Amino acid sequence: MTFLYLSSDRMGEGDDALGRRLLLLFLDRLAASEVQVDLVGCVNGAVHLTTADGPALESLRRLEAKGARIATCGTCLDHLGLRDELRIGGVGAMDQTVQVMAAADRVLRP
């Protein structure tokens, strides 16, 4: 099983605008590739990817159409007041994240 773990709405450290652009490019290319992602887990700042319309949501929908499940951290959604804004997938829990990370054959973390 391949688990895509997203903990931010950007890729890398440094320039925030560049980091957001890089993550959007990564998600677009991943969705267009032959790489099979089974589960996408979004925590912390990455919850903005599943709660706002935009290019990230588009790429996540393409991954979902290829069979990936999308889970967004419930604690994170509640902390940020975004639970009612979830636009894709379902609400996950930390115990599920621990189990998936331990059982995954591969964890992708951009």
Question: Among residues of the chain, what percentage have pLDDT more than 90?
Answer: 93
Q: pTM for the complete prediction?
A: 0.93
Q: Tokens 């889970």, residue?
A: 71
Specify whether the CB–CB gap between 63 and 37 falls below 8 A: yes
- Domain residue ranges in the chain: 2-108
Over the stretch 68-84, which tens digit does the pLDDT of each residue have?
999 999 999 999 999 99
Burial of 34 (0-12, 13-18, 19+ CB in 10 A): exposed
**Please, which pLDDT band fits residue 21 given cuts at 50, 70 and 90?**
very high
* CATH label, 2-108, candidates 3.10.25.10, 3.40.30.10, 3.10.20.440, 3.40.1260.10: 3.40.1260.10
3 state SS for the chain = CEEEEECCCCCCCCCHHHHHHHHHHHHHHHHHCCCCCCEEEECHHHHHHHHCCCHHHHHHHHHHHCCCEEEEEHHHHHHHCCHHHCCCCEEECHHHHHHHHHHCCEEECC
